[in-house]
Amino acid sequence: MKKLAHDIWIFDGEPVQFLGLPFSTRMTVVRLSSGDLWVHSPIKLSESITEQIESLGCVKYLIAPNHLHHLFLSAWIAAYPNAEVYGTREVIKKRSDISFHASLNNSKSYAWNPDIEQELFSGSPLMEECVFYHNSSSTLILTDLIENFSGQDFNRFQRVVAKGVGILAPNGKMPLDWRLSFMLGKADARKHLNRMLSWKPQILVMAHGEIVTENADKFLQQSFKWLI
């Protein structure tokens, strides 16, 4: 557990294999002004993580921000049966075994909105992600819209591949195949990017790779240069 700023923490979990690369996993936890915990992209649950979470507060919301970040939801639901579960339309369809409280695609007010703003980033038939902005810490919370791997856990071939698809720090961005999938939906995606830029984030957290704590707004602009 690492504290990023007041009332926001990250937990780095075990890597999972995806497309031949060891993908690091990261969970972001926010303590809302109500005192409840908002858990973004839950990682593999362990006794140690459970103890640390309980030291922070009561888990109220579990967030699956896109169709790839759902692997450990069932264990968290079992551990925190009173928590409300939210996901995008795609992940709700994919995980029919899970009862979701509501879809993040809905245009509605969510209980965490006084503390955390959000935007559904769309424009691609392959990639849709709900992004979040924690107001008090000026932290933008992403999942796969930007991947910024250090490459320390990659072998030489994997580093070459990661650099080729654009996900190697310090120049991380959306993977090439997903970027290409936005070709017909760039106008839609630009609207969502403009909302993200309007927040002027000072910290940028993604699920995979190095966190950006300096010039985060400039990093965000550079990583989406392909869209502009």
Pairing of strands 58-64, 2-5: unpaired
Structure tokens at 50: 């459970």
Q: State the Cα–Cα distance between residues 182 and 101, nearest whole angstrom.
A: 29
Question: What fold, for 2-107+117-223?
Answer: Metallo-beta-lactamase; Chain A (3.60.15)
Pairing of strands 58-64, 8-18: unpaired
**Residue-level pLDDT, tens digit, the chain, 228 residues:** 999 999 999 999 877 666 566 777 899 999 999 999 999 999 999 999 999 999 999 999 999 999 988 989 999 999 999 999 999 999 999 999 999 999 999 978 899 999 999 999 999 998 899 999 999 999 999 999 999 987 677 778 778 888 888 889 899 999 999 999 999 999 999 999 999 999 999 999 999 899 999 999 999 999 999 998
Q: State the Cα–Cα distance between residues 168 and 175, nearest whole angstrom.
A: 10
Q: Which residue has the tokens 């959000």?
A: 118
For the chain, domain boundaries = 2-107+117-223
Q: Would residue 165 be called left, alpha or beta, if left means φ above 0 and alpha means ψ between -120 and 50 degrees? A: alpha
Q: Are 167 and 147 in contact (CB under 8 A)?
A: yes
Work out the angle between the directed axes of helices 186-198 and 216-223 (0-180°, nearest 10): 180
pLDDT of residue 16: 67
For 50, residues 6+ apart whose C-beta sits below 8 A from its C-beta are 79
Helices (H), the chain: 47-56, 73-79, 89-94, 156-165, 176-180, 186-198, 216-223
